[in-house]
Amino acid sequence: MGTEKTNNIQLRPAIDLLGGKCVRLVEGKFDQVTEYGSDALEIAKRFEDWGLEYLHMVDLDAARTGILSQYRWVERIVSRTSMQVDVGGGIQSEDAIRIAFESGAAQVNIGTAAIKNPNLVYKWLKTFGPERIMISMDMKMDQIQIRGWVDEAEIEWKDFLRNYVGMGAKYFVCTDTTKDGMLEGPSFEMYDKIKNVESDIFIVASGGVASMDNIYQLQDAGIQGVIIGKALYEGFITEDDIKAFTIFQK
């Protein structure tokens, strides 16, 4: 992995786990849940069959409790597929990071802890390497949200971004939380703002993807990765779309 420029964009299908079930939320709201199955491995294998190489997994239970609980699914998926898995949701301690990596995760997403304990996250960047630590920047109206998008951070997003780039962070998962699960298209304006502040980072876009056109638009805008959730589960992006895209990319 690296932050080298590329014309190809990494497609990262999302598996969000809540109570052991694969679900999607709307704008991160736990009272707006749609269930899509109870076998995350089966879903991951389907994505692998489509030619996808990456997988984004979120432990929604841990996002609320801070206790990692779905790592067994990571073990199963990593051991029975060839997908590179990044894991997020409630990762606020070094023990949680080690559990994720020991389970086979390639990367972890750090959200709330990046706001609350920057010195600790700096240590993690040094210990595990910037290729394995992804900083989550979840925003609503230019305000960073934390703790499962329940609270707002006091730090201004530009300062937050610059601080972590200064610490050596390379990977940033950037979400417009108002777009999440809405199928209204990504927040292109937000990504332009981020790139204008720090151009030499690996941005994984998240929230709002509704079509392959959106993915091509993100790629043309120089975004290196994209998380796709509801659009896959609801059929707005199909197996044929993904296979055509991955074949073309190769």
pLDDT-based confidence at residue 182 (cuts at 50, 70, 90): confident
Inform me whether the pLDDT recorded for 248 exceeds 80. Answer: no
Domain-by-domain residue ranges, the chain?
A: 10-249
H or E element, residue 21: strand 21-26
Checking if the pLDDT of 229 tops 90, the result is: yes
Q: Give residue 5's pLDDT band: very low, low, confident or very high (50, 70, 90).
A: very low
Q: Which tokens belong to 10?
A: 């990494």
Rounded mean pLDDT of 183-193? Answer: 95
Angstrom CA distances, 89 to 134, 203, 246, stand at: 12, 18, 28
Residue 132 reports pLDDT greater than 80: yes
Residue 2 confidence (pLDDT) above 60: no
Integer Cα distance of 18 and 89 in angstroms: 11
Q: CA 57, 141, 175: angle at the middle one, nearest 5?
A: 15
Strand partners, 22: 17, 37
Q: Which fold has domain 10-249?
A: TIM Barrel (3.20.20)
DSSP sequence for 40-109: HHHHHHHHHHTT--EEEEEEHHHHHHS----HHHHHHHHHHS--EEEEESS--SHHHHHHHHHTT-SEEE
Do 133 and 170 meet the contact criterion of CB atoms below 8 Å apart?
no
Which residues does the annotation mark as catalytic?
16, 138
Tell me the mean pLDDT in the region 233-250: 90
Q: Which residues contact 124 (CB under 8 A, 6 or more apart)?
A: 94, 97, 110, 133
Find the helix or strand (DSSP H, E) in which 116 lies. Answer: helix 112-116
Tokens of 230: 């509801």
> Pairing relation of β-strands 84-88 and 10-18?
unpaired
> 219 — phi, psi (to 5°)?
-60, -45
pLDDT band at 43 (very low <50, low <70, confident <90, very high): very high
Q: What percent of the chain has pLDDT over 70?
A: 95
Whether the Cβ atoms of residue 249 and residue 241 lie closer than 8 Å to each other? no
Per cent of the chain over pLDDT 90 is 70
Q: Which of the residue ranges 46-50, 57-61, 89-93 has the most confident prediction, judged by mean pLDDT?
A: 46-50
Question: What CA–CA distance (Å, rounded) separates 127 from 16?
Answer: 27
